[in-house]
Amino acid sequence: MDIAYEIAKYIEDSFSYTLGTDLFVGTLPTGTDTGIFVIRNTGELAMYSPITKTVVDVYYKDTNSSRGMANLTAIKLFMHRMIDTDTENAVIYSMLAISDIEDMGRDQQMAQLYKFSIDIMHRDKSVIS
């Protein structure tokens, strides 16, 4: 179970983004001017529990910087302090934004890139304790 994929699916189900079109796991495909990508940053496994705590980074790239900031802010506010959420492959106990939205600068196409990090406490549904 890839928690970055589960979070991308969660964003797709909650907003008007489509996985593989303007929402991606990993990096954005070359030539994409506007889109979201979700990356698993780090994680830790509790020694005697199937519950994992993972930091996931959510990036938003847009040629219109104010639209990019507004859209990523909406996603962050929706996810921050979310509790007891299920996805297809994971039980998510909590989501807590652990950073503000960061300006990551512009790329070669002059699109602005923003990011925030979210701490997710979750369990893989296929793991039985």
Enumerate the domain spans of the chain: 3-124
d(CA 11, CA 5): 10
d(CA 39, CA 117): 10
Pair 20, 37: CB distance under 8 Å: no
pLDDT, one tens digit per residue, over 12-62 is: 999 999 999 999 999 888 888 899 999 999 877 666 678 889 999 999 999
pLDDT band (50, 70, 90) for residue 96: very high
Kindly report the CATH number that applies to the domain delimited by 3-124.
3.30.2000.30
DSSP type of residue 21? T
DSSP type of residue 29? P
